Chain A
């Protein structure tokens, strides 16, 4: 515990600050300011801690978080600062999975609830929903013991005509043994999205089993004679891989394939791209042109567009041409996951529901071995393995929700919350790099699943504009991917910088109103019943009624409890976290007078007749 610590406003140039006390707990860093507002920071969320040179007011400590929060403390005494710094360094770098928060997190669920929680998302059920197994596709037990591919799940769906020797042979010809398997099956078009890793073709190698495998996939689609093979990498990268004995499919060796590069950059490019973006958006006193040129130079939106373009290509191949598509990149767990899951999202409205989106993430990301642990740096490891691949996926989905405001059951808060927990290590779902690892960690016994918790508070994540009939079950969502449709995701990258958000949130207002409407409908039913009862019988117990009339107007719907007081169970929803900026709309301004005078960003300092507006 350190007192008299100052929390600086990140974007203010006038060094505005809040003074308060800093507490260090086993799992969180907690700052309570003089007005008792709490800021909780989970140790696992800390991406970097930096101690800046001593200043007159104390020792500055800058903490960067994986959820893009950046806090700037000034600790009065250097020794305290040093202690905090060292503790945070240790606490934020975990060496073993067992030390992660998820293993100590106890949400007061009993064992059966815990088990039920893990059963909430059932992938076997999901494949059944898609319509497999069927005449063309079957469940393969080839990987039952993770013998063929360690990073795949046990249950894999393959064409019926792909015999075990073909599977084994094909897996040997694919990087990390990740042979082509079913990711999504489109019932109406009888076409499939399949995924794999790159072939070990080098400059000339070929593998008959692998060729048979692709043919089997192609034949499993009775409505089309050809299939697409999408290599999601830029052509140059794929060619370079040939020198290392890897590479891409030679169209001459595979019959009836249409090969296509789509040019999504690799994890290293994405990492540095986001880094550049954050540097720009974190600049104080940023000008519009610096922002736009920084946005351009970071390449971030270009990458997001590339991912979505690839997904559109995939979805169209299936929906328009009824052709099956095999998607791969290098290892088939980053770009492949992005493209397969987004493609399915465009094709199937189920994935645009809250439950369906959970299923999609479980299927294409968790079970198929997107390396969450490495990419999100859950354990202290190789920084070169870190990459915002999943964040990019969420951003692509957000872009779709912007273009189709009524097509999604979930709202932006849902995407942000998932992002939060991918990094929080509070729940077991995203721990580890693949299913095998998760089983070894006994996550289902020792940790809890995130999904039941999100479902329990799904009111917060519901899109009030959602129209379930927006698109009939299997009609394609066709986004417009002209560049101007892609926008900077302020609510993600400046989630915690309240001053940048609209002061009144339209989303919150509509959400509350829509929620209130449900309540009012109930009230009407109740009142009507009572009136009926009154009219029907004369002697009624009066007391009850009086109680009712004394009831205040139904309008008193409170804002979803401000995260402030909500400590664990979900401490991640900490004090300052407000997705849409301050809750002015909910409060209908009653409390805003003071809010304005405090948190107001536009401070003008009038010096020598030159005014500086800062924000």
Chain B
């Protein structure tokens, strides 16, 4: 298919662009296969807006006389309005936008066409390999091994080719366990707590069914992570009744009789459409400037968004506590083990593992616990909060995770190497990007699409020194401790950087942030200067002394 077929009017003049808190600008609008480009006519202050079609969540058109207006709502939650003179042009452009922003085929997406304008210093596709992760692990324990039982994606289609499993369990046993777990997602290592040797594993639900099926290999696998005489905890992200109901459909949970050394904790985390609805309601509330106080607060409450945040943080703290405080191993799963499970395991690592609070460590975490672990990004992020089409698989699961990280970040502003912008950037790229990183739903699909060969990795770009400086937190000071966030409602806040980003004037806040950075930078400069002067003085002194001698 040629994009040109979809673009009947590639260019329109005298278009007026409206954005909240910006004066309206007149200019030229161009449509290309992947971008909507607006450039202001003024020579002096040429302003350009490049919008990826894939970033467009929904668009509406309106007419007043022959003046058409297109309102574009983006996945990053921004809303812009374009006034286009001429009914026909406007109709053409609106239908092109509609068509280009809803392309079905992944291979038509921009990442397959994008050619970077920068030199690739490090190929992001191979920046975070599980082999490296395993090497680190091997230096502290030999209880685990790297298994390539899933090399052909035949044992578990949503797992990566390589996984880390207990050493005492062979590949044959893994195949059997895979048959006992939903979607073949047998328990694998998610995190190893060096401090006390406890492990966090993740999987999907066991397929016990109504007649209480069991699987000896499964029991052996997870028992092998326990110290003799010690208990472990299974954190099930479903409420007990849902887990029980799941048995009717062939699913289920670990029963006490077969797992006597494990204590099960049900910590409910909302799923899919409930989260998506919550997301939509929250964004709706934030976008309406006319709400009086009562209405705003009740809308905020009705969205339930902060409740989800609190629940998720609580579950993650719980998992972290079982490991760090109770000195117990943990297995986390829900039903499929691709959503709430990953939220819990990755957040627990933020709390427990200082490495995950560095930029590279966080990237590795996203790769390991989200991309390789098979979170279906393409399904979940197909639409954002403005989708009016019927939902299928969309859910802001990854966004919730990012927001929880932000909440912890706010409580420990000096313990993270990255800043808020880094998290916002990941949110944007998960929904629309020129990079291939978040395309596909799992490693299997990515391999089939040949993403590493055909597209650029987000990490190749982010990890360039020029880009990194934008994402560094000037307050960062490595903190090797476990960081326990407060989950009291009074301690949680709306993530304004995402939800109010386009709805309020932000100049003063940005300037203040700049000033903060300047104070820190200046401090470093001064320290360096003082040290240099000290050395110079000491040098002078020794010179003099030797002269005197």
On whether the two chains bind one another, the answer is: yes
Chain A residues with a Cβ under 8 A of chain B: 11, 281, 286-293, 295-296, 299, 301-302, 305, 403-407, 464-465, 467, 480, 482-488, 490, 494, 499-504, 506, 509-510, 513-514, 516-517, 520-521, 523-524, 527-528, 530-531, 534-535, 538, 540, 542, 545, 548-549, 554-555, 585, 588-589, 592-593, 596, 600-602, 604, 606, 609-611, 613, 615
Q: Apart from A299-B294, A494-B490, A530-B537, list 20 A-B contacts with CB within 8 A.
A: A288-B301, A288-B309, A292-B301, A302-B293, A403-B508, A464-B519, A467-B515, A483-B297, A487-B493, A502-B413, A504-B412, A506-B413, A520-B523, A520-B530, A527-B533, A540-B544, A545-B541, A549-B534, A593-B481, A602-B317
B296 and chain A: residue at smallest CB distance? A483
B541 touches A293 (CB 8 A): no
A502 touches B410 (CB 8 A): yes
Chain B residues with a Cβ under 8 A of chain A: 233, 263-267, 286, 289, 291-298, 300-301, 304, 306-307, 309-310, 314, 317-318, 321-322, 325-326, 410-415, 475, 477, 479, 481-494, 500, 503-505, 508-509, 511-512, 515-516, 519-520, 522-523, 526-527, 529-530, 533-534, 536-538, 540-541, 544-545, 547
B490 touches A281 (CB 8 A): yes
Contact of B533 among A504, A528, A600 (CB under 8 A): A528
A601 touches B318 (CB 8 A): no
A292 and chain B: residue at smallest CB distance? B301
B523 touches A611 (CB 8 A): no
With contact pairs A292-B297, A604-B318 given, residues A513 and B541 touching in the complex (Cβ less than 8 Å): no
With contact pairs A292-B306, A502-B413 given, residues A589 and B479 touching in the complex (Cβ less than 8 Å): yes
Counting chain A CB atoms within 10 Å of each CB, the highest count among B291, B322, B526 belongs to B526
- Complex CA–CA separation, A538 to B325 (angstroms): 63
Report chain A residues within 8 Å CB of B414.
Answer: 504, 506, 509, 585
A296 touches B294 (CB 8 A): yes
With contact pairs A302-B294, A406-B512, A611-B265 given, residues A482 and B504 touching in the complex (Cβ less than 8 Å): yes
Report chain A residues within 8 Å CB of B526.
Answer: 517, 520-521, 524
- Complex CA–CA separation, A506 to B548 (angstroms): 50
- Complex CA–CA separation, A210 to B356 (angstroms): 71
- Complex CA–CA separation, A613 to B522 (angstroms): 42
- Complex CA–CA separation, A292 to B300 (angstroms): 8
A484 touches B296 (CB 8 A): yes
B515 touches A534 (CB 8 A): no
- A555 nearest CB across to chain B (Å): 7
- Complex CA–CA separation, A527 to B505 (angstroms): 45
- Complex CA–CA separation, A530 to B522 (angstroms): 23
Q: Which 10 A-B pairs have the closest CB atoms?
A: A405-B512, A291-B489, A483-B296, A292-B301, A520-B526, A296-B297, A302-B293, A527-B533, A288-B307, A502-B411
B533 touches A613 (CB 8 A): no
- A153 nearest CB across to chain B (Å): 35
B412 touches A524 (CB 8 A): no
- Complex CA–CA separation, A483 to B287 (angstroms): 11
Contact of A484 among B286, B484, B529 (CB under 8 A): B286
With contact pairs A405-B509, A517-B523, A520-B527 given, residues A601 and B286 touching in the complex (Cβ less than 8 Å): no
B293 touches A483 (CB 8 A): yes
Report chain B residues within 8 Å CB of A290.
Answer: 489
Report chain B residues within 8 Å CB of A485.
Answer: 504
A604 touches B544 (CB 8 A): no
With contact pairs A296-B294, A504-B412 given, residues A554 and B530 touching in the complex (Cβ less than 8 Å): yes
Listed by A's residue number, 26 A-B pairs whose Cβ atoms lie within 8 Å are: A286-B488, A292-B306, A292-B489, A299-B293, A302-B294, A405-B508, A465-B512, A480-B504, A482-B291, A483-B293, A490-B490, A490-B491, A501-B491, A503-B411, A504-B413, A509-B413, A524-B526, A527-B530, A528-B533, A530-B537, A542-B544, A545-B537, A596-B481, A602-B485, A604-B322, A611-B267
- A488 nearest CB across to chain B (Å): 6
Report chain B residues within 8 Å CB of A523.
Answer: 530
Contact of A465 among B318, B411, B515 (CB under 8 A): B515
- Complex CA–CA separation, A548 to B537 (angstroms): 10
- Complex CA–CA separation, A613 to B292 (angstroms): 34
- Complex CA–CA separation, A291 to B309 (angstroms): 14
- A377 nearest CB across to chain B (Å): 26
- B498 nearest CB across to chain A (Å): 13
Report chain B residues within 8 Å CB of A588.
Answer: 477
With contact pairs A404-B508, A488-B490, A589-B481 given, residues A482 and B289 touching in the complex (Cβ less than 8 Å): yes
Report chain A residues within 8 Å CB of B314.
Answer: 613
A306 and chain B: residue at smallest CB distance? B293
- Complex CA–CA separation, A531 to B537 (angstroms): 6
- Complex CA–CA separation, A301 to B297 (angstroms): 10
B519 touches A502 (CB 8 A): no
Report chain A residues within 8 Å CB of B289.
Answer: 482
B540 touches A484 (CB 8 A): no
With contact pairs A467-B515, A602-B484, A609-B265 given, residues A549 and B321 touching in the complex (Cβ less than 8 Å): no
B513 and chain A: residue at smallest CB distance? A405
B512 and chain A: residue at smallest CB distance? A405
Report chain A residues within 8 Å CB of B310.
Answer: 287-288
Report chain B residues within 8 Å CB of A287.
Answer: 307, 310, 489
B484 touches A600 (CB 8 A): yes
With contact pairs A502-B413, A609-B264 given, residues A288 and B293 touching in the complex (Cβ less than 8 Å): no
A300 and chain B: residue at smallest CB distance? B293
B412 touches A502 (CB 8 A): yes
Report chain B residues within 8 Å CB of A540.
Answer: 544
- Complex CA–CA separation, A173 to B200 (angstroms): 77
B519 touches A517 (CB 8 A): yes
Report chain A residues within 8 Å CB of B413.
Answer: 502, 504, 506, 509, 585
A503 touches B490 (CB 8 A): no
Report chain B residues within 8 Å CB of A585.
Answer: 413-414
- Complex CA–CA separation, A523 to B527 (angstroms): 10
- Complex CA–CA separation, A11 to B489 (angstroms): 12
Report chain B residues within 8 Å CB of A615.
Answer: 486-488, 491
Contact of B301 among A293, A506, A600 (CB under 8 A): A293
A613 and chain B: residue at smallest CB distance? B314
B492 touches A288 (CB 8 A): yes
- Complex CA–CA separation, A241 to B454 (angstroms): 77
- Complex CA–CA separation, A538 to B526 (angstroms): 28
With contact pairs A287-B307, A291-B489, A503-B483 given, residues A535 and B540 touching in the complex (Cβ less than 8 Å): yes
Report chain B residues within 8 Å CB of A501.
Answer: 486, 491
A549 touches B491 (CB 8 A): no
Report chain B residues within 8 Å CB of A484.
Answer: 286, 291, 296, 494, 500, 503-504
Report chain B residues within 8 Å CB of A606.
Answer: 233, 263, 265, 326
Report chain B residues within 8 Å CB of A281.
Answer: 490
B487 and chain A: residue at smallest CB distance? A615
B318 touches A11 (CB 8 A): no
Report chain A residues within 8 Å CB of B534.
Answer: 527, 549
With contact pairs A405-B512, A482-B289, A596-B481 given, residues A506 and B488 touching in the complex (Cβ less than 8 Å): no
- A155 nearest CB across to chain B (Å): 37
A601 touches B527 (CB 8 A): no
- Complex CA–CA separation, A403 to B264 (angstroms): 46
- Complex CA–CA separation, A302 to B503 (angstroms): 20
Counting chain B CB atoms within 10 Å of each CB, the highest count among A517, A548, A609 belongs to A609
Report chain B residues within 8 Å CB of A538.
Answer: 544, 547
Report chain B residues within 8 Å CB of A406.
Answer: 508, 511-512, 515
With contact pairs A589-B481, A615-B486 given, residues A517 and B265 touching in the complex (Cβ less than 8 Å): no
B519 touches A601 (CB 8 A): no
Report chain B residues within 8 Å CB of A467.
Answer: 515
With contact pairs A482-B289, A593-B481 given, residues A289 and B301 touching in the complex (Cβ less than 8 Å): yes
B489 touches A534 (CB 8 A): no
- B359 nearest CB across to chain A (Å): 18
- Complex CA–CA separation, A610 to B267 (angstroms): 8
- Complex CA–CA separation, A292 to B267 (angstroms): 22
- B328 nearest CB across to chain A (Å): 9
- Complex CA–CA separation, A100 to B266 (angstroms): 56
Report chain B residues within 8 Å CB of A407.
Answer: 508
Counting chain B CB atoms within 10 Å of each CB, the highest count among A293, A540, A545, A606 belongs to A606
